[in-house]
DNA sequence: CATTCTGTAATTATTTTTATTACAGTACAA
DNA sequence: TTGTACTGTAATAAAAATAATTACAGAATG
């Protein structure tokens, strides 16, 4: 993952938190983040699927926090946007004739998985409320 | 970083370790990893700059481990290839007129940095020797 | 001095990520 | 009941990042 889904999601959540339960349009969110509104809506779709936010269609619509900020932990947010491993996917197909190449991916995967768990554990120490409090 | 510098470097180091101090050509390494030899040489350049490997030009040349595998810890290897933060760089330029956007990058950076330290600490628990022993 | 390597630059191809365009559908409100 | 302001979503295009390829000078060896 070298895209910016995690920072975008966190940015959205922080803005929604700021809105204190109020409804915010994707246009507005995109303006603050300075990215395309469609990307924001896609990210919101994911956040909604994971229960972090809700959204309302139609005029005056937009999205809002669906949980108390204290109940959204950053590790969960990370997991919701995580697509491949942080350390780079083992998408490579090493030479199966090489005794190392043949089995390296499985060892890399287990190494990555451990390391990523440490990262998630660290993120999980903070909630959205903790993060947002830094902006006061 | 969504490239595969870390897995490539680890693969190289593992193969060199297997060679027990012997010299291995970039062509051979590339063959096992199944990537372009030039990419291998670039990665070796970096590994060399960081003291992990040495290399020998000319006929019969190649590269070799410059340290005992027990003295190469994976956290150091990670740091040597790390270019931007694992969680996605704050390369975005949020709207400076927005009170959140204005300061989010600094908060994201500090969050990332903490989380990445946890990841590095985890990787640092293992040396190349530990990793390579899995292939026996 | 031919051969087999590394080192490195330059270019091209591929893949991934992001932006843009477009439009159907929903809700509100006059 | 109709215009307006949104979301949801697909399709496409643009941009950026990554990897492959080509090319060749220079080093070490036999």
- Residues in chain A with pLDDT values less than 70: 1-2, 84-86, 88-91
pLDDT, chain A, mean: 92
Q: Is A20 on the interface with B (CB under 8 A)?
A: no
Report all structural domains of chain A as residue ranges with CATH numbers, in order of start. Answer: 5-133 (1.10.10.10)
Residue of B24, B75, B118 to mutate, interface with A, max A Cβ within 10 Å = B118
Measured CA to CA in angstroms, residue A121 lies from A73, A81, B78, B118, B130 at distances of 10, 16, 19, 8, 23
Place B90 in a pLDDT band, splitting at 50, 70 and 90. low
pLDDT for position B86 = 66
Shortest distance, CA B117 to any CA of chain A (angstroms): 8
Token pair 């929604």 in the structure block, residue = A16
Determine the pLDDT at residue B84: 63
Q: Residue B92: which pLDDT band, with cuts at 50, 70 and 90?
A: confident
Burial class (CB in 10 A: 0-12, 13-18, 19+), B70: exposed
C-alpha A21/C-alpha A30 separation (Å) is: 18
Which residues 6+ apart lie within 8 Å of A36 measured at CB?
A30
Q: What is the mean pLDDT of residues B12-27?
A: 96
Q: Is the pLDDT of residue B87 over 80?
A: no
């Amino acid at each position: 993952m070298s895209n910016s889904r995690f920072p975008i999601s966190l940015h959205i959540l922080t803005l929604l938190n700021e809105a204190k339960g109020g409804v915010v349009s994707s246009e507005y969110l995109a303006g603050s983040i300075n990215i395309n509104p469609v990307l924001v809506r896609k990210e919101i779709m994911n956040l909604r699927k994971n229960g972090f936010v809700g959204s309302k269609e139609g005029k005056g619509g937009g999205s809002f926090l669906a949980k108390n900020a204290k109940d959204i932990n950053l590790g969960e947010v990370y997991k919701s946007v995580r697509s491949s491993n942080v350390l780079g996917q083992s998408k490579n197909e090493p030479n199966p004739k090489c005794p190392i190449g043949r089995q390296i991916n499985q060892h890399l995967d287990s190494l990555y998985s451990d390391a990523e768990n440490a990262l998630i554990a660290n993120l999980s120490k903070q909630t959205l409320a903790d993060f947002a409090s830094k902006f006061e």
